[in-house]
Structure 1
Amino acid sequence: MSETSAIPPQLGTLESALYVDDLDAAVGFWQGVIGLPCFQRVPNRHAFFRVAESPRPQVLLVFRAEVTEHPPAPDARLPVPPHGTRGPGHYCLAAAPETLDRWRTHLEAAGIAIEADFHWPNGARSIYFRDPAGNSIEIADPAIWTA
């Protein structure tokens, strides 16, 4: 590969998106149960949640899919192309391994059914459950991705 065709570096994931039908239920879950601050909301369209501030901002975008599937108006100030999906997606939050028992207790106290709670072959643990839209949500020890 020549120097001019080298792949440029990237910094990591900045934002991830999930799609829902009931935005109010999503805000109640992500803010009230998971504790992510909602920093932007457009009623009946989207809610954006702050996941982390450093070392770089990380954001969870929650959209009503049927609204984001349409192209922007020709005079749109922000001409974001159509996007969205149907059916359940997946999102994983990282948590320190020593907090996973507390997370499980917290989720169960909030009436959230735990679908799976197990250790990967390397010993790292994941807890799986569903958000109100049916998306598969995981809270995991970041070590799940280490050798």
Structure 2
Amino acid sequence: MTAPSLDGILETAVYVDDMDAAHGFYEGVLGLTRMVAGDRLFAYDVGPAQTLLVFYRGHTGEDVATPGGIVPGHDSVGHSHFAFRVDAGKLQAWRDHFARCDVEIVSEVIWPAGGTSLYFNDPDGNVLELASAPLWPNFT
């Protein structure tokens, strides 16, 4: 049985304990534009048809009724991980920017395929990554 094709990942989620600190980081340090600001969710524009959802940990476990239907409850415990795609030519600018913003690069990896990843943490300890191609066979 062959599954219908997917068009990509529309949303990536991270859970945080301090929404104000998260907003300061995601907008102030990473430069993302906040599209939605609510009591339990911030949504940021990451690029064409790509959204970062920042959820208030412990406040999203219950189903939420909307005029269009029920959004199932969800939550996460512990530190999560996701990566932003960046051009290799911008990695040094990001290193310099992080240094100015006192954001520690906790690890830098050069992958066998030749791409580079910079790992850092958000204020809640979630592991974020800036990754340049080539890395995965579908990311060249």
1:97 to 77, 83, 88: 88
Q: What does residue 77 of structure 2 align with? A: 86
Q: What does residue 125 of structure 1 align with? A: 116
Tell me the amino acid that sits aligned with residue 85 of structure 1: S
Is 1:114 the counterpart of 2:105? The answer is: yes
5+ long unaligned stretches in structure 2: none
Q: Which has the larger radius of gyration?
A: 1
Taking only aligned residues, the RMSD between alpha carbons, in angstroms, comes to 1.4
Is 1:142 the counterpart of 2:137? The answer is: no
Q: What does residue 48 of structure 1 align with? A: 43
Q: 1:79: how far off?
A: 1.3
User: What SS is found at the alignment partner of 2:5?
Assistant: coil
Tell me the amino acid that sits aligned with residue 70 of structure 2: P
Which structure features the higher share of strand residues? 2
Q: What does residue 21 of structure 2 align with? A: 25
User: What is the CA deviation profile of residues 37-74 of structure 1, one whole-angstrom value per residue up to 9, with x for unaligned ones?
Assistant: 0010103x110000012xxx10000001211012235x
Tell me the amino acid that sits aligned with residue 99 of structure 1: K
How many residues are aligned here? Answer: 137
- The percent of aligned pairs where both chains have the same amino acid is 37
Mapped to 2, the partners of 1:35 and 1:84 lie a distance apart of: 25
Mapped to 1, the partners of 2:43 and 2:134 lie a distance apart of: 27
Mapped to 1, the partners of 2:64 and 2:52 lie a distance apart of: 21
5+ long unaligned stretches in structure 1: none
Q: What does residue 58 of structure 1 align with? A: 50
| TM-score where L is the length of structure 1 | 0.88
Mapped to 1, the partners of 2:85 and 2:133 lie a distance apart of: 5
1:13 to 4, 9, 14: 9
| TM-score where L is the length of structure 2 | 0.92
User: What is the CA deviation profile of residues 14-43 of structure 1, one whole-angstrom value per residue up to 9, with x for unaligned ones?
Assistant: 000000000011111001100110010103
Q: What does residue 31 of structure 2 align with? A: 35
User: What SS is found at the alignment partner of 2:23?
Assistant: helix
* Contact persistence 2:108–2:118 (CA under 8 A): yes
